[in-house]
């Protein structure tokens, strides 16, 4: 059985590249996709609302990243799945991205700066997505 890799297991340089893709940087996206980190490139796109990337994660052995993307969006079943995992990192990451001060403080307490950077980027993405959803009438 192929064990999924936790975000904590990636080299900090790869995580930094991932954070840059969350900002929309195509060069870092291409680097991840072409150098053995397709799951991270897909997760970045899923966070940014790409449904096809999410489907790929869920069907290509990267279920946890797919569910994490949905939990970050506050999808109830995904949040429950993450909570049932009892994985402190996943629980706090999803919660911090949704604005939980306790989740955010867990990362500060554990000195996980790269993830604090990622959480900040994801929160910005969520703000933009919420604003776009609020003004759906402007989509024409």
Q: Can you give the pLDDT at residue 113? A: 96
pLDDT for residue 28 is more than 90: yes
Q: What is the pLDDT of residue 89?
A: 98
Q: Is the pLDDT of residue 71 over 70?
A: yes
pLDDT at 126 over 90: no
Domain boundaries, the chain: 10-138
pLDDT at 16 (0 to 100): 96
Whether residue 121 is predicted with pLDDT greater than 60 in this model: the reply is yes
Answer whether 0.85 is exceeded by the pTM: yes
| pLDDT of the residue at 138 | 54
Q: Is the pLDDT of residue 15 over 80?
A: yes
pLDDT-derived band at 1 (thresholds 50, 70, 90) equals very low
Q: Is the pLDDT of residue 117 over 70?
A: yes
| CB hemisphere CA count around 34 (13 angstroms) | 6
| pLDDT cut 90: percent of the chain above it | 83
Report the C-alpha gap between 13 and 84 in whole angstroms: 30
């Amino acid at each position: 059985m192929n064990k999924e890799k936790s975000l904590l297991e990636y080299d900090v340089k790869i995580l930094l590249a991932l954070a840059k893709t969350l900002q929309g940087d195509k060069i870092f996206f291409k680097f991840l996709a072409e150098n053995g980190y397709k799951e991270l490139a897909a997760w970045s796109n899923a966070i940014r609302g790409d449904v096809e990337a999410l489907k790929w994660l869920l069907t290509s052995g990267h279920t946890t990243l797919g569910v994490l993307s949905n939990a970050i969006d506050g999808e109830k079943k995904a949040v429950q799945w993450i909570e049932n995992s009892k994985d402190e990192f996943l629980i706090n990451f999803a919660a911090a991205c949704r604005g939980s001060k306790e989740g955010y403080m867990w990362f500060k307490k554990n000195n996980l700066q790269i993830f604090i950077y990622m959480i900040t980027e994801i929160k910005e993405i969520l703000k933009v997505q919420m604003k776009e959803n609020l003004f759906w009438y402007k989509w024409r």
